[in-house]
Chain A
């Protein structure tokens, strides 16, 4: 990965900024919420006390029957269709062993109180109400109570359809209905009874019992108080509820007994889409855990929210749920209504809180904007910085590589050496290193010739002494040693000559007088002379028939070729081959000398043509010493012809190829030659 992208990645760390901001905003929002909750709870407590001061009677404790409001016009037909909307709030009156056996729904409109009872009883014993057996067959008993007056009715029917209930006991007082009639319907699973009572004769308490003839268990029937949404209570609540708040009074079973006030609509004039976005941001980032608004719907006759039940158990509770408008949240606080240490119900107070999301959204959006800006800015700056940095490093690297390729000598000075930062230090170090390397290269280059020069004199002493020794009368066995010494001196002489070869060649190149010649003829001549030398190795030549014109020093090129062939001969096995190819290129020629044999060590490719570098096995001693000058000479000659010398392994791995690219020596003015 490049430095640039690394720094860009590092710039991503500024993402911690919005994260921290988000956490902070959440914290703030939570504090705000807590404050609002406290306020609302205080308000709710004040309301509860206000109710108490107004003398509003608290709802009774214990079980009760709730009379719902009729959803429309009710038809007394024994079928539950018109009760559908109310059935979720069915009350079960059955025996504790089978609570679902008898269920009851009550509702009223301005004139009537409707009753719909359904019994699950698959074992029917059908009789009519006035049948003498009625009391032991399947039937329902309805008990109505109004003030001190109690009246019981036996409801039974032998067949579906209209029925008249048998009024039990005295039926003179008109305060309760004297006759109760309704419709009876049944199917395989049980029967249903629907009837209605006039509002004028409405009881305070109501009890419904049943007898299953199959079980014959006598059913004690309790009458339960009737609870309903009370207009007077609502009016009284409306008097004390502040604006913008909704209040509901709830019985200890969760039934809504009174409601007043309405939630302030905070929609305002804002663009709906913007509000949607803000609501979405708020919900998804800040307050994802708001409760379901459905639990607090104003139309519910009974509230089933956890917080309500918590209040009914005597503990104040608050909840947040969504409001009507997008992005609105509603705070609900439920406080218990207590009298004599007993919870009689609860007061549920709700308030729309539009400012809270607004505030937090604003904070969040400005935070998001600011951190995005910071991110972009930081990323941009870091990217630019990294680009500049990597550009400088690349320049330095390119210059250094070029200088290294040029053997530590560079025509242009390294860049950045004037920079004052660490890169400048690096560049200066590089520069020093390159200077040292160049000096070392120069030293190496001249070492051999200096050394050979110094060795000439002692060698001359040895040789001349040996020559003199020849004329002394030596014992025969001493002659052997003289011969050996002479042999050693000869070899030493060859080494010394080889060592000064490079420097002599450099001078020869400097003094060379380029001429126009046919390179193909030179190479052909050389190849012919190599044949006996390289035998028994096979020598293949791939030479063009046409002349390859070249401007340069043929004897130098022939010398380079000698070195290459000598090198190839040294590496090709006796049964191997050597191939010499010459091709004219666009502005020069290309001589390739390939030989079978072991491949070059990969590390040596570039250094092979340096002075004093040899890949030859030191243990293999040929007749001439290999000091690594041969290929160096080749390179010098190639460079003199504005070309290059390269070595590579053959692709099929069968050997090595040395390539000499030649473009010819620069032409000099004729007067100079």
Chain B
């Protein structure tokens, strides 16, 4: 049965494009133009994944409100923010509300699809027993690739899909410096240097929140970042 995805986007051309593209991939996609429309529909039935634009018509932060609403209804519902806004502040706000990823609109459909399938994969993996799970363990770090789940000293680190992929890239070859391009490719995003840096910083902070002594991620200025072996 096709997975049900909802797209809340006020720009009809983009909405149509996304709906068509995701439909082609095999999802069952429903587009909504405004927050009230979406809210009404979600009251009847929750989709399995929601893609939300932050600015919705007259409501500049309508996406955030909708996200809050949805998170209240379901803690596990994957939510992706897709927006023209690209400031760190917006990203942090969005992620704090419990979004699973935050993408700027210049992300390609291909990358978006990769994320969606990754999120569904994780959803599936969580529902299944962890029998044939690929687990990478590195010191206190435990990385479950299928579930896209990382724990540090047994505590789960709440990473977005993008962040998970970055950590995954570094952890697969500890000690190797992963430069911007590699991280970008693995994380399936096209962003600039500063954004990569802020991603890395954010990841580090999330680890530090669990373990203040965390220093496994090292930045080699001018080169990139690596996981300390």
Contact = CB atoms under 8 A, between A and B. Distances in A.
A507 B106 contact: no
A497 B84 CA distance: 11
B62 to A, nearest CB: 15
A616 B4 CA distance: 51
Contact of B109 (A468, A522, A528, A559): A468
Contacts of B197: 555, 559
Contacts of A459: 105-106
Interface in B11-45: 11, 13-14, 17-18, 20-21, 24
A465 B17 contact: yes
B17 A456 contact: no
Contacts of B190: 493
A464 B15 CA distance: 9
Interface string A609-645: 0000000000000000000000000000000000000
A521 B11 CA distance: 48
A174 interface: no
Interface string A504-539: 110110010000000001100111111000000000
Given A456-B104, A456-B106, A504-B88, A558 B17 contact: no
Given A457-B84, A528-B222, A467 B106 contact: no
Contacts of A501: 192, 194
B223 interface: yes
B17 A461 contact: yes
B87 A468 contact: no
> Chain A: interface secondary structure?
helix
A239 to B, nearest CB: 126
Contacts of B24: 468, 471
Contacts of A529: 222-223
B106 A554 contact: no
A505 B108 CA distance: 24
A555 to B, nearest CB: 5
A496 interface: yes
B11 A562 contact: no
A665 interface: no
Interface string A299-323: 0000000000000000000000000
The interface centre, meaning the residue of B21, B106, B108 with most chain A CB atoms within 10 A of its CB, is B106
A559 B194 contact: yes
B88 A507 contact: yes
Contacts of A453: 84-85
Nearest to B223: A529
Contact of A456 (B105, B109, B220, B221): B105
Given A467-B110, A493-B106, A559 B198 contact: no
Nearest to B86: A500
Contacts of B106: 456, 459-460, 463, 493, 496-497
Contact of B223 (A465, A504, A528, A559): A528
A561 interface: yes
A521 B89 CA distance: 30
A61 to B, nearest CB: 127
B219 interface: yes
Interface in B122-166: none
Contacts of B87: 503-504, 507
A480 to B, nearest CB: 19
B219 A554 contact: yes
Contacts of A559: 193-194, 197
A457 B222 contact: no
B145 to A, nearest CB: 27
Contacts of B13: 461, 464-465
A504 B86 contact: yes
A562 B222 contact: yes
Contacts of B108: 463, 467
Nearest to B198: A508
Interface string B146-188: 0000000000000000000000000000000000000000000
A527 B21 CA distance: 44
Interface in A433-465: 453, 456-457, 459-461, 463-465
B223 A464 contact: no
Interface in A548-603: 554-555, 557-559, 561-562
A525 B87 CA distance: 28
B114 to A, nearest CB: 13
Interface string B84-120: 1111110000000000000011101110000000000
A559 B221 CA distance: 9
Nearest to B104: A456
B67 to A, nearest CB: 19
Contact of A464 (B21, B198, B201, B221): B21
B221 A558 contact: yes
A561 B104 CA distance: 27
A554 B225 CA distance: 13
Contacts of A527: 222
Nearest to A558: B221
A453 B85 CA distance: 7
Given A464-B21, A501-B192, A501-B194, A457 B105 contact: yes
Nearest to A493: B106
Given A468-B20, A511-B88, A457 B223 contact: no
Nearest to B20: A468
A94 B11 CA distance: 140
19 contacts: A453-B85, A456-B104, A456-B105, A457-B14, A460-B84, A463-B108, A465-B17, A467-B21, A467-B108, A467-B110, A471-B24, A497-B191, A501-B192, A507-B89, A508-B198, A526-B221, A554-B221, A559-B193, A559-B194
Given A457-B11, A505-B194, 8 more contacts: A453-B84, A457-B84, A461-B17, A504-B88, A507-B87, A511-B88, A521-B221, A555-B201
Interface of A: 453, 456-457, 459-461, 463-465, 467-468, 471, 493, 496-497, 500-501, 503-505, 507-508, 511, 521-522, 525-530, 554-555, 557-559, 561-562
